Amino acid sequence: MHADTGGLAMCSPQWVRQRQGAAARIKLPGNASVSAVIIFGDSIVDTGNNNNNFKTLARSNFPPYGKDLKGGMPTGRYSNGKVPSDLIVEALGIKELLPAYLDPTLQPKDLLTGVVIAAGGAGYDPLTAQVAGVASLSDQLKQFKEYIKKVKAIAGEERTNFIISNSLFFVVAGSNDISNTYFLTGIRKLEYDVPSYTDLMIKYASEFVKDLYGLGARRIGVLNSPPIGCVPSQRTVAGGVLRECDEKQNQASQLFNSKLSAEADELNKNLPNSRVVYIDIYNPLLDLINNPTKYGFEVANKGCCGSGIIEVTKLCNQIQPAGTCSDDSKYVFWDSYHPTERAYKIIVQQILDKYTNFFF
């Protein structure tokens, strides 16, 4: 652990012991410390918040999801193993897995080092979560307020304020807005073109970051939208007979991303003592997709689960006849929408190497 000893003096030995459960792989600058990691957004980072939400199809708490996690148990992570939430806390030496806030087995002490509040299917646009039947970002903000109350009950106000101000926050959203709410269902096409829809997304993204700041968050990483037109399901739906990348969706992502980057700069200027860090995942994932062999992958246009071209969530299950591929480490994608743990590891390592110092 690379920790600020002055900060740790405010914390109980029990808390320190829990934080030492994993060996840190990322060196933090100077005296910097990270108390906890708290993540909002969608299925890229959700670790099980939809498990007991039977209004939605956006669940993954059944085999073969999680087959490469310790014990091979499905937990609600949308992959074969760990997802970026886990890989971030593991690299920081905080803990091995970042639990879902709504996990009924969550222990009070788990709250002190962070949770995932994200819900698979959510987006910046409130309509995205509404259509999916999941917690919107405003719902997630309410859950964060509950989280703060619970931490105060455990640790007291002063220590809670220290934990929140020294935590890393990540917001991962946007892909469902573009792929589902705009292009697939076409609901928003009736009133918005792509430029005005991405403006709407930015408005909600900016408000969410300001709301987090108002609740004490100071180090906030905002991930941009991936090349959503190149994920297997979107190739199938919109990529023609050859299943090429859908450039319309990719161009929408790129437009959103350029606006998000500019908005992050504005937020940094206007929110005192904040570090709002714009994080590019578009290009790292696109490089894996376009140059799979460079990273030791063999398949980048299909997922490992089933036929690999359409199966995701409920369609990726144990009874679908195609089963799963024999070696998911050769695949960039686990299902038709979400990368494999191995692909996530490569992307998360690149992100941490590039952006960690910007938070301090």
Which positions are annotated as active-site residues? 43, 335, 338
Q: Which of 66, 88, 119 is nearest to 335 (CA)?
A: 66
* Residue 171 β-bridge partners: 40, 222
d(CA 172, CA 154): 28
Per DSSP, the residues of 343-358 read HHHHHHHHHHHHHGGG
Is 122:173 a contact under the CB 8 Å cutoff? yes
Bridge-based pairing state of the strands 275-279 and 219-223: parallel
d(CA 118, CA 60): 14
Spatial CB neighbours of 81, under 8 Å, sequence gap ≥ 6: 66, 67, 68, 69, 340, 341
Per DSSP, the residues of 279-332 read E--HHHHHHHHH-GGGGT-SEEEEESBTTSSS--GGGSSTTSTT-B-S-GGGEE
d(CA 330, CA 317): 20
Reported as type and span, the H/E element at residue 138 is helix 137-155
Is 172:118 a contact under the CB 8 Å cutoff? yes
